[in-house]
Structure 1
Amino acid sequence: MTTPDISVIIGAYNAMPYLTKTLTSVVEQSIGRDRIEIITVNDGSTDGTGEELERFAAQYPGLFQVFHQENSGGPSAPRNKGLDHARGKFVFFLDADDYLGEEALERMFTMAERNKTDVVLGKMVGVNGRGAPSSMFLRNQPRTDVFKSRVYWTLNPLKLIRRELIEKHKLRFPLGYKTAEDQLFTGMLYLKADGISVVADYDCLYIVKRDDGGNTTTSTRGAEVRIRVLELMVDLVEKHVPAGPDRDGLMNRHLTVDMFHALIHLARESDPELQRKNYDELRALLKRSYPDSLKARVNAITRLRCELILRDMLEETIELENVDRRHRSAGTQPDVLVEGDRAYTRLPFFRDPERGVPDEIYDVTKAVQDRHRLDSVTIDGSRLAMTGHAYLRGLPQEDATTELVLRERDTKVEHRFPTTAVATPDLGAKEDRGKYSYPMAGFSTEIDLTKAVDGGRLPKGLWDVFVAVRIQDYVKEIRFGHKRLPGFGEKTETYVVADGEENFAAALYYTQPYNNLTLDVGENKHKVADKLHVERTRWSTEIPSQLEVEGSWKLAALPVSALAVRLDGGRGRTLTVPVTPSGANSFKANVSVDGLAPGSWSVSLWLPSQRGSAWSKPVTSQSDLKNTRWFRGGLLRYAAPASRSRLVLRVGRVAIVKAVLRRLRRLAAKT
């Protein structure tokens, strides 16, 4: 029996009518049915789920395994049943109300095999108002881990997993939990995996919010089970990850997400004794597992939650959750206070003398949310011109100013340039219910690259682009360019910039993988010569001594009058012929070799550069370019290609007597 590439495991409980679309999405996968097996477990359904599984199994003989069992009370047992019968090289857990993009399994399998990784996350999309994890799907990640990326912030098991990893560590889903049971399984997989991949450029998995509210995560009530899982996950992290930044990064996720979810249910608890019991458990957990290094890492509201819990302020904790719930329901955030060079969020009890919570708990200086967009950028002549907008969410804008910052990547040398404010009357209208406005957050700027630094040229280097927004003494620098006006492309644009009688290269490009704007001055990564091309060389049919050169350029702008074809005969002998534009990005040149001295002449494209030098790109020899002959002053002359790689012309006078004698000798040899 052939081993399938992927075992798709689907546990189903009262999943109709969603199940039909789920199963259809699997059987129609582009990877092909011959490479997958589908293992389904009917977990005691009463709505026709079992019948639908059997219908699909009958329609696709040999593709499905269908198991029926009494209801287990959670998703763990059906998933474990599927693992016990899986034969695939990989497994993929799919919930019965979700569905796959057509190419999902093929793309994830290819990513895993190409990069030899054990776990692959496919981009998730929420359906019917369901939220989906997003921070880990900003870009493809061929090979990463839980410490270098955001993958740990999604601990559901809806991923492609190498089955050998599961069996090697004898992993199964823990029983007895109706929610969050998958965290222990997935967390251990992450920590034991030999590499994790992320497919972010394709919508792999659609997670559906059911109209009947039947999603397990949203329908399971109570803080107790969530606190139990939180404690287990904290123990898991502390057991497998040494104390330090790596551990703090994972713990940050659990306090920010899992403790938050526990507190939502704790605040709604109607039994005061149970509420107090759960609260004390959280307090005990924080007392042992909340070091100062983690305190400095979590966000402000998590920091305040922890502070209130450690101070045993139950009523204040519940009040904070109610305030936060109102903000989340309204799509708003607390106001931010700027004092000097610091920023503070106005969460409950800020500077309340009775509670005495220190200001540092509310400090969001490094975490103020920014909004920004690049609308246009170009180099016109020697001037770098840019437009866009940038503002700080929820902060007063009356005295805000914006600077453009160019910072050289290696040396960290930076230069700051003023901008001109541009009216943006509609900014902010679609967030915070229009509570804040940013009417002058737009900007434009022009920088003369030949006079940018003390009246002189911007030096050679990779100049990363930042926008600095200042309010009072508070300044936030924003790495700029990855958010752009829709339709504004990602193409690298290379320019030849005139600086008096000299030229230099400047390229605008977007970094990988973060897609930010950088200015390359002096060809550090982007070579001008690589943008110049000769497509054809041939001898004129009317003038045998004339070489016709046709080519193109892929520069954003080119001083065509300076581009030339140059023939170099050595010993200071050169012939330079300017090109003539023949189209939007093409040129031609007619080069007469009639007056060249005898010898070898190399042919290249020539563009004046800095301080008397030039960009020179050898012209490639073409196989269809043959010899040519012509008369000059009554003497027969010739030009012939002398190299198979770059174009070198050997020019000279035909020795007629010797040529005739050679021909006669050849004829005699044949008779």
Structure 2
Amino acid sequence: MVSPTVSVIVAAYNAKPYVTRSITSVAEQTIGREALEVITVDDGSTDGTGEELERLAEVYPGLMRVIHQENSGGPSAPRNVGLEHARGRFVFFLDADDYLGPETLARMVAMAEENGTDIVLGKMVGVNGRGLPASMFKRTQPKTDVFNSRVYWALNPLKLFRRELLEREGLRFPTGLPIGEDQPFTALAYLAAEGGISVIADYDCLFCTLREDGGNTTSRTKGSEPRLRFLPYMIDLLIENVPPGRNRDHLAHRHLTIEVQNLLAHISREPREDAEKTLARLADTLAPLWHEGMDEHLSAMARLRLYLVRHRMLDEVLELLRFERELAKSKVSTPVHAEGGRAYARYPFFRDPARAVPDSVYDVTPQLGVRHHVSRAGLSGTTLHLAGHGYLHRVETRDVTTELLLRERESGTEYRLPVTHTATPGLGAGEDEGRFAYEKAGFEAAVDLATAADGAPLPDGLWDISLAIGAQSVTREVRIGSKRADDVSGGPATRVVNGAGDGPRAVTLYTTKPYGNFTLDLGQKKHRVASRIKVAAVRWSASNPTELLIGGTSALDGFPDALKVVLTSDSGATAVLPAQRTPHTDGFTARVDVRDLGPGVWQGELRLGDPAGLATPLPALPKSLGPAKWRRLGLPWYAKQVDGKRDRFELRVARTELVRAVARRVKS
């Protein structure tokens, strides 16, 4: 018997009518039924779910296998039973009240096979208001791991697993946990996924339903006790499997935020005596995992929660929970206190001498929202003009110290340049119900590239443009350009400007991809002038048969006055002809009267000033064009493309040798 590609395991308990939609979504997968097997385990349902599964097995013959068992009290046992019967290369766990997008399994299998990964996460969508983890689905990731992504924030098993991984590691769901049983299974699979993990973020793969009857497992399981049973399990798992350091801290962050917040919500509903005991148990549970170095990775709210838990401050915990509930309802962000270059959230107990919570717990400086908008960006000669506004969210624009910052990408060299601070009346009225005003957030800057480097020309390089936004002693940097007015172009604009004694210089203002921030390219690091100037044709003039016309187009920002054609002969002679712009177009033409050229072989290039660093070689004359002929002092002369040199312009200018000319005529 040929093994299926994917075994879909569905643990079902009292899931009617949801299970019908769930199974149907699997049967209609574009990967095809021949690639699937569906193993459904009825965990002692009493609402007719078992009978509905049998009916569906008849509707989809050969696709489904239905297993009935007595109720086990949770999804672990039926999932384990399904794993014992699975034959597919991959396993997908699907809850009976959830369903798949039509292309889900085809996309997941393709992702795993193309990248050799062991686990594939597909974007999840909540139905009926169900909240789901989303941070890991900001972008598709063909191959990542648990330490360099946010996949650990999705510890449910609703994913595609390579079955060889599960069998090699002997992974099964623990049956002694009434809630959170999926976390150790998924966490251990993540850690063992040597082939890596894939994330599909550009397709809605899994639709997870919040049941109207409250039948979801987490909704049915109440109280802090079951949650305090799996949290130590997970903390022990991390300590045993991940050495101390950045990687462990990255994973611990999830438990110290999500799990602690959920637990405190249940503690708040318990009698005081029970709540005090539970809080003490929670503090003891967290002790092996928490250390001071983790604080910088946590939000101020999470730091405050943990501080109160670790110090067993039940009354303060309850007050903080009330504050959080009100904050969630409010449309106004918490104000901050700015002092000494830092910003502190005014959460409960800030600088309350009776509680003595350290200021560092409230420090939100790195997390301050930075808002900016560019209303003007462009080059005029050697001057970069920028205008717009920038401010720090919740820090009103008093004592503004905003500067423009140019930083060379490779060397890290930076220059801070002053800006003119301008008024922005009414800015901030559209957020936080107008609680914070940013009346002087505007900036204007005119940066002369010839003097921007402390009075000297800005050197060649890629210069990223940022604002160092400052107010009330607090400063944050932000790259600018991603937020800009509709009439501010993000496309590359290359100009050729006068250098500081070294001839013309190429300057390009452009926005990066994918973030759309402004960068200056000085010296053609990414944007070649040659690619912006095209020689369209080299031909003889119809009205003057000895006049060579060199025509082309310029996509530079502004027509360069220094554009010219330079011809050099093998004897060292030169001829310089200016390129004239065709009125009202981007075209240009340079005219060369070959009668003015001396004898020899002439090569040519389109050049922007001297030296020849901004130069484009001229193409050869078309083969169809014959020579130009004229008489000089009564003797015949000609000019023509050198035979066999069709890859470049090489024009031979010479006197016709009469004997050879006569011989050719006789032969013909």
Settle same-fold status: TM greater than 0.5. Answer: yes
What is the rounded CA distance, in whole Å, between the counterparts of 1:80 and 1:467 in structure 2? 55
* Matches of 2:90 and 2:417, distance apart in 1: 52
In the TM superposition, what is the alpha-carbon distance from 1:215 to its structure 2 partner? 3.9
User: Does the aligned pair in 1 maintain the 2:402–2:471 contact within 8 Å?
Assistant: no
> Which deviates more, 249-258 or 580-589?
580-589
For the 8 Å contact 2:546–2:628, the answer to whether it is kept is: yes
Name the counterpart of 1:282.
282
Deviation at 1:626, TM superposition (A): 4.0
2: CA distance, partners of 1:200 / 1:32 = 22
Distance 1:51 1:540 in 2: 90
* Cα separation, 2, equivalents of 1:415 and 1:657: 74
CA contact (8 A) 2:559 2:581 kept: no
Looking at structure 2, the residues matched to 566 and 27 of structure 1 have their Cα atoms a distance apart, in angstroms, of 72
1:119 aligned to 2:114? no
Structure 2 residue 327 is matched with structure 1 residue 327: yes
- Which residue is equivalent to 1:360? 360
1:631 aligns with 2:595: no
Is 1:615 the counterpart of 2:580 in the alignment?
no
Matches within 5 A, 1:73-92: 73-92=73-92
The 2-side partners of 1:507 and 1:193 are apart by 45
Structure 2 CA distance for aligned equivalents of residues 235 and 461 of structure 1: 50
Aligned residue number for residue 147 of structure 2: 147
1:569 maps to 569
Instruction: Indicate how the Cα distance of structure 1 residues 97 and 414 shifts in structure 2: closer, same or farther if over 3 A, else same.
Output: farther
Distance change in 2, residues 1:366/1:547 (3 Å): same
Q: Following the alignment from structure 1 to structure 2, what is the Cα–Cα distance between the partners of residues 274 and 31?
A: 52
Q: Compute the displacement of 1:284 (Å).
A: 0.9
SS in 1 for 2:569: strand
2:30/2:103 contact within 8 Å kept: yes
How far has the Cα of 1:281 moved from its partner?
1.7
Task: Return the letter of the residue paired with 2:252.
Answer: M
Distance 1:110 1:529, change over 3 A: farther
C-alpha distance 459-104 of structure 1, shift in aligned 2 (>3 A): farther
Deviations 1:445-466 (A, max 9, x none): 3333334334443222222222
Q: Shift of residue 607 of structure 1?
A: 2.5
Q: Per-residue deviation at 1:303?
A: 1.9
Contact 1:565-1:606 at 8 Å conserved across structures = yes
Please give the alpha-carbon distance, in whole angstroms, between the structure 2 residues aligned to 1:86 and 1:225: 30
Which residue is equivalent to 1:349?
A: 349
Report what 2:371 is aligned to: 371
Aligned to 1:336: 336
Change (3 A) 1:330 1:607: same
Instruction: Tell me if the contact between 1:507 and 1:519 (Cα under 8 Å) persists in the aligned partners.
Output: yes
Correspondence for 2:255: 254
Q: CA deviation at 1:559?
A: 2.1
* 1:291 is aligned to 2:291: yes
Which residue identity is paired with 1:182?
Answer: D
Q: More displaced, 256-265 or 333-342? A: 333-342
Give distance in 1, aligned partners of 2:29 and 2:266. Answer: 39
1:283 Cα offset (Å) = 1.3
Say whether the 8 Å CA contact 2:419–2:444 is kept in structure 1: no
Aligned partner of 1:629: which letter?
P
| Residue-by-residue CA offset, 1:66-106 (whole Å, 9 max, x unaligned) | 55555544333444344334444433444444455555545
Structure 2 unaligned blocks of 5 or more: none
In 2, Cα distance between the equivalents of 1:590 and 1:235?
82
Verify: 1:658 aligned to 2:660, yes or no: yes
How big is each residue's C-alpha offset from its partner over 1:584-636, in whole Å with a ceiling of 9 and x where there is no partner?
6555555555544444444433223xx644411335569x6445223211626
Deviates more, 1:287-296 or 1:130-139: 130-139
Larger displacement relative to structure 2 (469-478 or 204-213):
204-213
Greater mean deviation of Cα atoms: 315-324 or 508-517: 508-517
Does the aligned pair in 2 maintain the 1:642–1:650 contact within 8 Å?
no
Q: Which residue of structure 2 lines up, in the alignment, with residue 234 of structure 1?
A: 235
Whole-Å Cα distance in 2 between the matches of residues 376 and 38 of structure 1?
Answer: 59
Determine helix, strand or coil for the equivalent of 2:74. coil
Find the counterpart in structure 1 of residue 559 from structure 2: 559
C-alpha contact 2:101 2:206 (8 A) present in aligned 1: yes
The CA distance in 1 between the partners of 2:243 and 2:323, in whole Å, is 36
Q: What is the SS of the residue equivalent to 1:322?
A: helix
SS at match of 1:304: helix
Q: Per the alignment, do residues 443 and 123 of structure 1 end up closer, same or farther by CA in structure 2, a change over 3 Å counting?
A: farther
Distance in 2 between the 1:452 and 1:14 partners? 71
Q: Structure 1 residues 237 and 177 mapped into 2: Cα distance closer, same or farther (>3 Å)? A: same
How far off is 1:237 after superposition?
A: 1.5
1:303 is matched with 303
- Change beyond 3 A, Cα 1:50–1:332: farther
- Cα deviations by residue, 1:43-64 (Å, 9 ceiling, x for unpaired): 5556665676667666655555
Q: 1:216 is aligned with what amino acid?
A: T
Q: What SS class does the counterpart of residue 457 from structure 1 fall into?
A: coil
Aligned residues of 1:300 and 1:345 also touching (Cα < 8 A): yes
Residues 626 and 641, structure 1, Cα contact 8 Å, conserved in 2: no
Bigger mean CA offset, 634-643 vs 362-371: 634-643
CA distance in 2, matches of 1:584, 1:21: 62
SS in 2 for 1:508: strand
Q: 1:152 to 1:636 in 2, by over 3 A?
A: same
Change in 2 beyond 3 A, CA 1:228/1:493:
farther
Matches within 5 A, 1:392-403: 392-403=392-403
The structure having more radius of gyration, on CA atoms, is 2
Q: How does 1:174-573 map to 2 (within 5 A)?
A: 174-194=174-194, 195-269=196-270, 271-374=271-374, 376-409=376-409, 410-423=411-424, 425=426, 427=428, 429-430=430-431, 432-483=432-483, 491-499=491-499, 502-511=503-512, 516-534=517-535, 549=550, 551-555=552-556, 557-570=557-570, 571-573=572-574
Identity rate, percent? 45
Whole-angstrom CA distance in 1 between matches of 2:376 and 2:564? 32
Contact 2:152 2:254 in 1 (8 A): yes
CA RMSD of aligned residues (A): 3.8
In structure 2, what is the Cα distance between the partners aligned to 1:601 and 1:475? 60
Per-residue deviation at 1:381? 3.6
Return the alpha-carbon distance in structure 2 between the equivalents of residues 348 and 41 of structure 1: 49
Contact 2:581 2:588 in 1 (8 A): yes
2:10–2:40 contact (8 Å) kept in structure 1: yes
Paired position in structure 1 for 2:137: 137
Letter in 2 for 1:309: V
Q: Contact 2:231/2:259 (CA < 8 Å) preserved in 1?
A: yes
Query: Against the structure 1 CA distance between its residues 354 and 620, is the aligned structure 2 distance closer, same or farther, given a 3 Å change threshold?
Result: same
User: Contact 1:537–1:625 (CA<8 Å) still a contact in 2?
Assistant: no
Relative to the length of structure 1, the TM-score reads 0.85
Where 1:282 maps in the other structure, the secondary structure is helix
Deviation per CA, 1:383-412: give whole Å up to 9, x if none: 323344433223333444533222223233
Structure 2 CA distance, aligned partners of 1:434 and 1:509? 34
CA distance in 1, matches of 2:106, 2:545: 58
Rate the CA distance shift 1:29–1:584 in 2: closer, same or farther, 3 A: farther
| Runs (5+) with no aligned partner, structure 1 | none
TM-score, normalised via structure 2 length:
0.85
Higher mean displacement: 216-225 or 228-237: 216-225
State the Cα distance separating 1:255 from its structure 2 match: 0.3
Question: What does the per-residue CA deviation read over 1:646-665, in whole Å, with 9 as the maximum and x for residues that have no partner?
Answer: 42324244546436646877
Q: Quote how far apart the aligned CAs of 1:30 are.
A: 5.5
Give runs of aligned pairs for residues 155-174 of structure 1, distance below 5 A.
155-174=155-174
Paired amino acid for 1:346? R
User: Quick one: structure 1 residues 3 and 466, their matched pair in 2 at CA, closer, same or farther if it must change by over 3 Å?
Assistant: farther
User: Displacement, 1:578?
Assistant: 1.0
Query: Over residues 282-312 of structure 1, what are the superposed CA-to-partner deviations in whole Å (9 max), with x where a residue is unaligned?
Result: 1112332222222443222222222222222
Amino acid at match of 1:257: I
